Amino acid sequence: MTASIKEFPGMALSRKDFEEGRVLFTTWDPNARYAWEAGVAIGRYLAELKNGRLIGRKCRKCRRIMVPPRMFCEHCFRPTDEWVYLEDTGTVISYSLCYVTWDVKRVKEPIIPAIIEIDGASKGMGIMHLLDEVEPDEVKIGMRVKALWKSPEEREGAITDIRYFKPL
Amino acid sequence: MSLLERIEKLEEAKAWPGSIPITSRYTVGIAGERFFREIKDNARFLGTRCPNCDITYVPPRLYCERCFAKLDDWVEVEPTGTVRTYTVLHLALDGSPLDEPEILAFIVLDGSDGGLVHRLGEVDPDEVEIGMRVEAVFKPEAERKGSILDIGYFRPL
């Protein structure tokens, strides 16, 4: 519908109009702070990361052990039943070589995000993390890896309490 | 267990704090442009008049809010006015106590049906009254930027 309107009312403004002070304006930085509530399952998951271990959640009906843990089984539509401690080792099931950082800065040495199927959890259940201490062209799907943890004093209950995964 | 499992100790509750960087830019618009330029260049207030409704809008409007007519009758409005209502502030925007209380008032400008919200100065908070006559104190021309703050404050006449 807008295609049939040749000229819109009002004034179109360009960047130059602002830079050269041709229009009057005010700027304002709203205070957009927020807090994301982790919930029961992720709350425990993060607490256990601080303790230096991974934890999952089991559904007794489909017998899946899920990581990251969740309080509700999306397959069976029922609450999950128990907490299960997992290994901090796993298998790379997918990865990527990234030559840009998350805020789009170029890097020479690629960053290697990977999905790691965690030992002790069901097949295909894994977490995303970084790989390191490995040459980019040596990374393979199916590669066995182990978490490198921060020291207990440095850990704060975040996924970054694991620095990265390295080949076993 | 299961869904009945709850966080019982407050310190177990975990939340991720974050912040979103946003900057907004508000342009004053066509009528606002003329209003603020006049303040900046000549230290005068302008309004627009609707002859139909016999109303003078300050700040100026491009269209009459009552009859929707386009307004192009620009008139000068006096820098004097009357306090319609006011409040005395003891806290800053961030909640910290102010050293000196600030007085904010809505001032109906003479010769118009509108007015401005602005500071009152050169007056003790106890002496402010509704109906008090005030005038605008403009900043020196060199300091004026085309903003509502080009008026330093209103003071008693």
Residue A71 forms part of a structural domain: yes
Looking at residue B13, its pLDDT comes to 64
Query: Residue A25: its chain B contacts at CB < 8 A?
Result: 25-28
Looking at residue A67, its pLDDT comes to 95
Confidence tier at B5 by pLDDT (50, 70, 90): low
Looking at residue B49, its pLDDT comes to 95
Looking at residue B6, its pLDDT comes to 64
Looking at residue B1, its pLDDT comes to 46
Residue A19 forms part of a structural domain: no
Interface A–B counts its CB contacts (< 8 A) at 86
The predicted model gives B40-69 an average pLDDT of: 94
A87 interface with B at CB cutoff 8 Å:
no
A157 interface with B at CB cutoff 8 Å:
yes
Q: Does domain B27-156 sit in CATH 3.40.30.10?
A: no
A74 interface with B at CB cutoff 8 Å:
no
C-alpha distances out from residue A69 to A61, A124, B14, B102, Å: 16, 14, 15, 54
Q: What is chain B's mean pLDDT, rounded? A: 90
pLDDT tens readout for residues B76-118: 999 999 999 999 999 988 889 999 999 999 999 999 999 999 9
Nearest Cβ partner for B24 among A18, A28, A34? A28
A82-86 sheet: strands from edge to edge: A65-66, A54-58, A82-86
Q: What is the pTM of this model?
A: 0.62
Residue B10 has pLDDT above 60, yes or no: no
Residue A154 forms part of a structural domain: yes
Residue A85 forms part of a structural domain: yes
Distance CA A67, CA A58 (A): 9
Contacts of B111 (CB under 8 A, 6+ apart): B47, B56, B75, B76, B77, B78
Q: Do B13 and A43 touch (CB under 8 A)?
A: yes
Contacts of A2 (CB under 8 A, 6+ apart): none
Q: Where is pLDDT greater, at A92 or A17?
A: A92
Distance CA A58, CA B90 (A): 57
The predicted model gives B37-44 an average pLDDT of: 94
DSSP code, position B3: G
Q: Do A47 and B25 touch (CB under 8 A)?
A: no
Residue A36 has pLDDT above 90, yes or no: no
Nearest-Cα distance to chain A for B48, in Å, is 18
Q: Where is pLDDT greater, at A12 or B60?
A: B60
B53-60 contacts, C-beta under 8 A, 24 or more apart: B55/B113, B56/B111, B56/B112, B56/B113, B56/B114, B57/B112, B57/B113, B57/B114, B58/B109, B58/B112, B58/B113, B58/B114, B58/B115, B58/B116, B59/B31, B59/B32, B59/B35, B59/B114, B59/B116, B60/B31, B60/B32, B60/B34, B60/B35
Whether ipTM tops 0.90, in short, is no
Residue A33 forms part of a structural domain: no
Residues 27-86 of B with CB under 8 A from A: 27-28, 30, 32-33, 36-37
**Sign of the torsion formed by the C-alpha atoms of B91, B94, B99 and B102:** negative
Residue A146 forms part of a structural domain: yes
Contacts of B97 (CB under 8 A, 6+ apart): B90, B91
Total of domains in chain A? 1
Place of tokens 């990865």: A95
Looking at residue B37, its pLDDT comes to 94
Q: What is chain A's mean pLDDT, rounded? A: 92
Testing the interface with B: which of A24, A51, A73, A103 to mutate, by most B Cβ within 10 A? A24
**Sign of the torsion formed by the C-alpha atoms of A16, A20, A26 and A31:** positive
Residue B59 has pLDDT above 80, yes or no: yes
Residue A21 forms part of a structural domain: no
The predicted model gives B41-66 an average pLDDT of: 94
* Domain range summary for chain B, segments of one domain joined by +: 27-156
Query: Residue B6: its chain A contacts at CB < 8 A?
Result: 40
- For A44, phi then psi, to 5°, come to -65, -40
Looking at residue B76, its pLDDT comes to 94
A32 interface with B at CB cutoff 8 Å:
yes
| Structural domain that includes position A141 | 39-167
Residue A17 has pLDDT above 80, yes or no: yes
Rounded to a whole number of angstroms, the distance between the first and last alpha carbons of chain B is 73
